[in-house]
Structure 1
Amino acid sequence: MTQAELFFPRPATPPSPLFNFHEPSAAAAALEDTEDEPRDAFSAKLIDYPHSSADAVRVAEQRFRRELEKQLGADVLPAMRAFQNASESSDTDLTKREIALAARWVKAYDAARTAGFRDLGDTDEAYFEVKAI
């Protein structure tokens, strides 16, 4: 900044008409569309829980689902299917991707189960069932 700019400031220039700050650009709209890609829908249900507290069950199911989505992201159903395929067939019938997804499912399910059962207490026979909807 020079002394002339300091002591004799110029008036602010009006905003450029090329930019409209109220409407998103076409590029921004295209990015928003890709972020909202539909994920595979699944349900998680707590089975064989001996206590009948509906609120506790609902919270546990939400925690389980949230942790499963955190671990696997959009790969929840593909990983579950890969695990089911791996448990029903031999290793030679599976692709490397299916084996990797099945291994991720085991780790993610264990972490989600731990998160889901965190505040439930006695849960020897209870388990979470995951189904595609």
Structure 2
Amino acid sequence: MQVIESMYVVALRDYPEELPAKERIGAETRYAKALEKQLGGPEQVAAALDTMYSLEESQPEVVSPGDLTLLKAWGKASAAAKQAGFRDLGEAEGAYFEVRLV
């Protein structure tokens, strides 16, 4: 049995129809790989998520130029990841990928 350690998890949410586990896992894996490719690896994805969580709690005037750069990078990475994740499924109204730290 292969064990994959991860610092974050990706879950496909609100897909309008029941997906076989293989297709759902494939979409979530494509999403995660695209995020990692865009941001530089799993550690960078986890670090970006951690920063994003802390920015949600911050006042707008506290956001640094580095944080703004990260926000832009996250936006670009998540758009590419969404495209990769839905590649074999097609877009589904209301469906999204949830990414969270573990």
Please state which band the TM-score falls in when normalised by the shorter chain: 0.7 to 0.9
The corresponding residue for 1:10 is none
1:65: how far off?
0.4
Deviations 1:37-64 (A, max 9, x none): xx97111000011222222111100100
Matched, 1:57 2:27: no
Task: State the distance in 1 between where 2:12 and 2:6 align.
Answer: 20
Structure number, greater radius of gyration: 1
Relative to the length of structure 2, the TM-score reads 0.79
Task: Structure 2 unaligned segments of length 5 or more: list them.
Answer: none
The corresponding residue for 1:105 is 74
1:85: how far off?
4.0
Sequence identity of aligned pairs in percent? Answer: 38
Matched, 1:67 2:70: no
Query: Aligned with 1:81: secondary structure?
Result: helix
Task: Structure 1 unaligned segments of length 5 or more: list them.
Answer: 1-38
Query: Aligned with 2:88: secondary structure?
Result: coil
CA RMSD across the alignment: 2.0
Question: How many residues get paired?
Answer: 95
Residues 69 and 51 of structure 1: CA distance in aligned 2, closer, same or farther (over 3 Å): same
Relative to the length of structure 1, the TM-score reads 0.63
Query: Aligned with 1:124: secondary structure?
Result: coil
Aligned residue identity for 1:45? A
